[in-house]
A and B are shown apart, each in its own frame.
Chain A
Amino acid sequence: MASILAVDDSASMRQMVTFTLKGAGYDVTEAQDGMEALQIAKSNSYNLVITDINMPNMDGITLTKELRSLPSYKFTPILTLTTESSADKKIAGKQAGATGWIVKPFNPEQLLATVKKVLG
């Protein structure tokens, strides 16, 4: 089954994302900020990265740029979690190399639908 790296500084969001995706059979690893995610990503490989944007230490935009600069993450789908209001964040995410975004707030069904869309 596909493996997913879920990055968010909010524990409740991480729990929700992990619970939903694990329930659907995905293999989920959590990271609580970009810095941690980058370290984990370097020593493992994932089929999909889902990351929040606003995080301490390293934000999701920087994480996306960093991941894209790694050969093994050149084509890996990366989704950013963004609020509807921050259109500029979606664009910033895209410019950094993100595949797409999931608009917050989302419910487990929406999350799963999006993930399925990306992972096929």
Chain B
Amino acid sequence: MEQFHQTFFEESFEGLDIMENELLNLDVGNVDNESINTIFRSAHSIKGGSGTFGFTAIAEFTHVAETLLDEMRDGIRQVTQESVDLLLKSVDIMRDMLTVYKDGGDMDVEKIASVQNELEKMLGNETETTSTDNTITDDSAAQSDGWKIFFKPHTEMLRTGNDPVRMIKALAELGEIEVVANITHLPGFADLNPEDSFLAWDITLKGDIEKKDITEVFEWVEDECDLEITPLANTASNELNAQTKTVSDEQSKTAPATAAPVTQKKQPATTTPAKPSTTKKSSSGEAASIRVGIDKVDEIINLVGELVITQAMLGQVGGEINSDETHNTFQMEKLIEGLAQLERNTREIQESVMRIRMLPISFVFSRVPRLVHDLSGKLNKKVNLVTLGEGTELDKTVMEKIGDPMVHLVRNALDHGIETPEQRLASGKGETGTLTLNAFHKGGNIVIELSDDGAGINKERVLNKARTNGLVGENEMLTDDAINDLIFHPGLSTAESLSDVSGRGVGMDVVRKNIKSLGGSVRVDSDEGKGTVFTIQLPLTLAILDGQLVKVGDETFVVPLVSIIESIQVKSDNLNGIAGKADLYQLRDEYIPVIRAHHVFGMEDNNASLNDRLMVVVEGDGKKAGIIVDDLLAQQQVVIKSLETNYQRVDGLSGATILGDGTVALILDIAGMIEMYKKIGAPEPTAPVPPNGKDSNIADEAA
């Protein structure tokens, strides 16, 4: 059975998401029948599956929640905010239980019991236990040397696919059998309808057989036949007795589990009937997709990566042959044509494979409604959530990692951004705040905007706080952007009171760190009194990168194209050395630090002078810098290979790739390099003199 568990977990988690989503969208005053049905169906499937696969705790719990839903579905229970909240809580419990079954760990038995208790209280049947069970034991005692059975199918019985022969065969397996067909009711040939049943049977079954084994054979056709089962040796008085037992037996089978709902169903429905379903679900959506393990997809991506490298290598060789005219030109043309086609095909394969990993951002957005629902309740705020661009796709890995930062930003917006209804009214706004999530593609990136129409960032307070904490000098003047940016600084929280919602000033720095680790960026714009916009920019995929190849010494490095602003030739007139410590380059009206790639990576620089050297102007994490390189090579897409998995993390590098000629090129982590540069600084005059004897003291040049 275990081989089905994975599927069960996947579909159950999906089912819980559906339940949660539908519950959140329920309009309590005007309930859509189809929504309740959908919620019920998910709960029902989870109950069925968990029972089948042996997860009894979930089955038991879900049964209670399902009963509540069943009553809602039948219109005998009104859908209230209270019941919706309780069902949402139940969804959480079920999710927790599933997680424990899936990943191990301990169940929070108390929490489960308390929610189950709440559910039962709402159902009002916590004391209902069944007392009818003992009739079964009673019945099992009723055995004899054998049984006499009269079995007469109703005319229509065959039409439910039930075959009397099958039942007689099943009886024959229980003991010694004697069957006499009774053809009294058989009509004349002219009236004989072969689709009807006219026969009856008198059956004598001998052996030590329990009556329930016999009734079980006829279980499905109880209402479609006349059936009399009497003990063989006994007389008429006992016969009567046996009949009554049959009746009580029937009741005991159905009564226990349905006792509560059945009695309630008999009351006239006083609730407003749920409105008929208006939504039609697309039926083909599910059928058009298959479930594949992510490891299989990753394996393909890896192989395609290798293919791209092989193709690049062939392309390079082909390019060299091209210029060689001693070969047979016809064959050569064919080869070159083939290589061009190979390149095209490879690129298409790569793009298609990458698309397999792409999922709509709605997977992340779908977590937000619940969060907003819970938080706004907790904070007594009114919030309207708007989501746009939910179909915007991005890589699954990026998606998985952006979830937590997003949740944090939402919490932050509700806690610090959107005001209480009173505050809002006082400042002339509507009492309901709006939180908007918007996602769209821009260039090779996905942009996620999270905006609220709340109080905005109080710049004065942020600046004061930063000054108190010594983050900003007493007389230092900052631009608005720089002040806003301070909120990403570790240890800066301006909330007047700490709440359990967005924590204690840890978080925003982590948000930025997480986004940075994905190769993305986050910035904040705020208009005091009007609202705040967080803009997250992320690469679409972590697997390929548009890169500029550069030469530093004998090594080739890859600079991510997105971080490059321009490439220029250094004019020594624009160079300034600050106290012999760092170089600054005047780029139009701003000064940017000059980073010597040689120096950062501990390589020799044969050319000490910076004059006329090539400098790539880059921006990482909102900061600009110039990187000195020896040569600019081609621009190309590279397949990113992780350094961490293949070697270890290296500061200033985000990964590596294999070039067409088979050599390894390291990919620069621009933001990381700027950080490193700040720590290492420019080459000091006291730095060890390179073996070639040239001193790379740049203070001289600047002079």
- Are A and B interaction partners? yes
Q: Which residues of A contact B (CB under 8 A)?
A: 9-13, 15-16, 19, 32-33, 35-36, 52, 54-57, 68, 74-78, 81, 83-88, 91, 94, 97-101, 104-108, 117-118, 120
Count chain A CB atoms within 10 A of each CB in B48, B59, B163, B291 and give the residue with the most: B48
Known A85-B258, A87-B257; 11 more pairs at CB < 8 Å? A11-B10, A12-B5, A54-B40, A56-B283, A57-B281, A68-B159, A77-B161, A77-B162, A78-B161, A97-B161, A105-B50
Whether B219 sits at the interface, judged by CB under 8 Å, is yes
Are the CB atoms of B161 and A54 closer together than 8 Å?
no
Report chain A residues within 8 Å CB of B8: 10, 12
Contacts A15-B4, A19-B3, A35-B283 hold; do A10 and B45 have CB atoms under 8 A apart? yes
Q: Which residues of B contact A (CB under 8 A)?
A: 1, 3-5, 7-8, 10-11, 38, 40-41, 44-45, 47-53, 59, 63, 67, 158-163, 166, 169-170, 195, 219-220, 223-224, 253-254, 257-258, 281, 283, 286-287, 291
Report chain B residues within 8 Å CB of A56: 38, 41, 281, 283
Report chain B residues within 8 Å CB of A13: 45, 48-49, 52
Taken together as a complex, chains A and B put the C-alpha atoms of A9 and B45 apart, in Å, by 8
Taken together as a complex, chains A and B put the C-alpha atoms of A88 and B255 apart, in Å, by 11
User: Top 5 nearest A-B pairs by Cβ distance?
Assistant: A105-B51, A100-B220, A99-B161, A12-B8, A85-B257
Report chain B residues within 8 Å CB of A118: 161, 166
Q: Tell me the nearest residue of chain B to A96, going by C-beta.
A: B160
Are the CB atoms of B52 and A104 closer together than 8 Å?
yes
Taken together as a complex, chains A and B put the C-alpha atoms of A105 and B59 apart, in Å, by 9
Are the CB atoms of B257 and A97 closer together than 8 Å?
no
Taken together as a complex, chains A and B put the C-alpha atoms of A106 and B219 apart, in Å, by 17
Are the CB atoms of B11 and A10 closer together than 8 Å?
yes
Taken together as a complex, chains A and B put the C-alpha atoms of A78 and B59 apart, in Å, by 26
Count chain A CB atoms within 10 A of each CB in B41, B59, B281 and give the residue with the most: B41
Report chain B residues within 8 Å CB of A83: 44, 47-48, 51
Q: How far is the CB of A65 from chain B (nearest CB, A)?
A: 12
From A32, A104, A105, B287 is in contact (CB under 8 Å) with A32
Report chain B residues within 8 Å CB of A15: 3-4, 7
Q: Tell me the nearest residue of chain B to A111, going by C-beta.
A: B52
From A52, A57, A97, B160 is in contact (CB under 8 Å) with A97
Report chain A residues within 8 Å CB of B4: 12, 15-16, 19
Q: Tell me the nearest residue of chain A to B219, going by C-beta.
A: A100
Q: Tell me the nearest residue of chain B to A67, going by C-beta.
A: B161
Taken together as a complex, chains A and B put the C-alpha atoms of A99 and B163 apart, in Å, by 9
Q: How far is the CB of B280 from chain A (nearest CB, A)?
A: 10
Taken together as a complex, chains A and B put the C-alpha atoms of A32 and B288 apart, in Å, by 12
Taken together as a complex, chains A and B put the C-alpha atoms of A97 and B223 apart, in Å, by 12
From A78, A94, A104, B48 is in contact (CB under 8 Å) with A104
Report chain A residues within 8 Å CB of B48: 10, 13, 52, 81, 83, 104-105
Contacts A57-B281, A83-B48, A85-B63 hold; do A12 and B53 have CB atoms under 8 A apart? yes
Taken together as a complex, chains A and B put the C-alpha atoms of A57 and B287 apart, in Å, by 12
Q: How far is the CB of A17 from chain B (nearest CB, A)?
A: 10
Taken together as a complex, chains A and B put the C-alpha atoms of A12 and B166 apart, in Å, by 30
From A16, A76, A100, B1 is in contact (CB under 8 Å) with A16
From A12, A91, A94, B49 is in contact (CB under 8 Å) with A12
Are the CB atoms of B160 and A99 closer together than 8 Å?
yes
Are the CB atoms of A94 and B169 closer together than 8 Å?
no
Report chain A residues within 8 Å CB of B67: 85
From A74, A99, A117, B195 is in contact (CB under 8 Å) with A74
Taken together as a complex, chains A and B put the C-alpha atoms of A104 and B257 apart, in Å, by 13
Taken together as a complex, chains A and B put the C-alpha atoms of A98 and B4 apart, in Å, by 27
Report chain B residues within 8 Å CB of A76: 161
Are the CB atoms of B160 and A98 closer together than 8 Å?
yes
Q: How far is the CB of A8 from chain B (nearest CB, A)?
A: 9
Report chain A residues within 8 Å CB of B160: 78, 94, 97-99
From A11, A52, A100, B162 is in contact (CB under 8 Å) with A100
Taken together as a complex, chains A and B put the C-alpha atoms of A67 and B53 apart, in Å, by 30
From B163, B257, B287, B291, A36 is in contact (CB under 8 Å) with B287
Taken together as a complex, chains A and B put the C-alpha atoms of A48 and B426 apart, in Å, by 70
Count chain A CB atoms within 10 A of each CB in B160, B166, B283, B286 and give the residue with the most: B160
Q: Tell me the nearest residue of chain B to A77, going by C-beta.
A: B161
Taken together as a complex, chains A and B put the C-alpha atoms of A46 and B199 apart, in Å, by 27
Listed A/B pairs (18) with beta-carbon separation below 8 Å: A9-B41, A10-B11, A11-B7, A12-B11, A16-B1, A19-B4, A32-B287, A36-B287, A55-B41, A56-B283, A78-B160, A78-B161, A94-B223, A101-B220, A104-B51, A105-B53, A118-B161, A120-B169
